[in-house]
Structure 1
């Protein structure tokens, strides 16, 4: 294993009866990297994370976490890792500060570190508020603070922004960026593709227990070689004329707009500018979501 790898998993497999949850997964995460694991429901993301954390024993394959095997339970690793699970469990009737003090006491952490974590996650003004009275976004931030209070080297976050409103989710992005800026390695799962595209250095897209693609988000999008969509207000240009413009590959019309698909947008945009039809124009390029759907399909999974 390279000396800079914070986590290395090789040919990891896990079954629940006849269900193959993880089927030969291999990847490495460098120190200080923000690494995302993406996939539909049931893809094997959480099971992979739990084996990497040492919470589950793999059926086969190896895990090296900070140079050591997390299974059987390695007590020397516990102070060096932080884990935030999908469902957070707090001590009843304790305030935000008391929650952090209790978690910190398990690692010999003093009150100064507790206050630092409250400041980091933006809960200093809620320090005396009982956990049960915090909002969903505040509880998520408190959960992350509990995972960080002992200053771990690597942090595992399982869907930390799930069920949050857009404002709370963006607020949590800032917290995650600050954690990474402190040199921590972050490994997390999410269903929000826009989030992963903004935050992650690299992502692995999983489905049916296997990794289908793994790279930097921008490189995955570029390699998709998808068409650019130029969207005009309906009536700005006749569909027949739009289809004859240089660079136009395909034209679709709905009740609100006309969309021109192209793999060579420059001459198309120049032609539209010459016709004075740039008002209200939108240009949509491929995103990580397009890569995800291309690899995993569009069928809904509960």
Structure 2
């Protein structure tokens, strides 16, 4: 999946929503677009999946220009939208059967997928009775149902509690472990840090930085460890020469140490330092 110099302006927009984006998503990786609301994440996803046209630049998804997408293209991708659309008067099962029937291929077990996301008991409930978080999980199931090779996930943990978020994280990682390529958007640095092999920082339609979360944490963090003690003191020690640092060793032997932490930077802090903006 590759985008080259991609720009886009909505017909009634005063400025460009995207400004010359350049990025590549490797096969079998989870690539995350990290940015606040309005940064251009959903616009990018719309271009990659063919739902937004009229952009400039070059885009190839599985070797196909999304503006020229055919049935084979859509059989090979799964999309989970932040604000998914369903037939509200239909049950979840009826919706999944309807959408699943469009692909003309063998489907995964609907009940098993619904059970994984905690919706097994709601399979025959009308979608109009679903909460926002339930619709998000149903949208994830719909995106996985036809077992696509490419997944596009727009804020996949929106409206979910920590337990359900962890379940969704595990499911996404399992898809990656099966060789799937996953493009996700999020403003949640926990989701980005725990899931993504690489992340791109998007701010005001500009892609300002791409790297792995681990590499970013080291690049922008301090090469120090912070030691907190039970007597209320906090001291920082440089990692270089730590094993021979007499002050550090003395503190360890004192018996008052409560915590020791390395001082890598968090993604939210890095984003703020690079863009001057908060993620939320």
Q: Same fold (TM over 0.5)?
A: yes
Following superposition, the deviation at residue 163 of structure 1 comes to 2.3
Return 5+ residue gaps in structure 2 as ranges. none
Deviation at 1:59, TM superposition (A): 3.4
RMSD (Å), alpha carbons: 2.6
Match of 1:292 in 2: 271
User: Aligned in 2, Cα 1:264/1:229: closer, same or farther, shift over 3 Å?
Assistant: closer
**Number of aligned residues:** 273
What is the match of residue 144 of structure 1? 140
Partner SS for 1:198: helix
What CA deviation, in whole Å up to 9, does each residue of 1:69-109 have, x standing for no partner?
A: 11144343111111111101211232222221111111235
TM alignment of 1:70-89, pairs within 5 A: 70-89=66-85
Equivalent in the alignment of 1:264: 239
Mark the CA change 1:220 to 1:129 in structure 2 (over 3 Å): closer, same or farther: same
Write the distance in 2 (CA, Å) between the matches of 1:78 and 1:289: 34
List alignment gaps of at least 5 residues for structure 1: 1-6, 238-258
Distance 2:91 2:53 in 1: 35
> Structure 1 pair 260/163, CA: closer, same or farther in 2 (3 Å)?
farther
Distance 1:31 1:106, change over 3 A: same
> Compared with structure 1, are the counterparts of its residues 207 and 111 closer, same or farther at alpha carbon in structure 2 (3 Å cutoff)?
closer
Match of 2:31 among 11, 35, 41: 35
**1:260 aligned counterpart, secondary structure:** strand
1:94 maps to which of 90, 97, 101 = 90
TM-score, normalised on structure 2? 0.86
Note if contact 2:33-2:185 (Cα within 8 Å) is conserved in structure 1. yes
The answer to which structure, 1 or 2, has the higher relative contact order (CA under 8 A, 6+ apart) is 2
The residue aligned with 1:214 is 210
CA gap 1:271/1:11 in 2 versus in 1, 3 angstroms = farther
Q: Does 268-277 or 195-204 show the bigger shift?
A: 268-277
Deviations 1:142-192 (A, max 9, x none): 111111222222111110111222122112112212222232111001111
CA offsets per residue over residues 123-152 of structure 1, 9 Å max, x none? 444323333444544332211111122222
Residue in 2 aligned with 1:11? Answer: 5
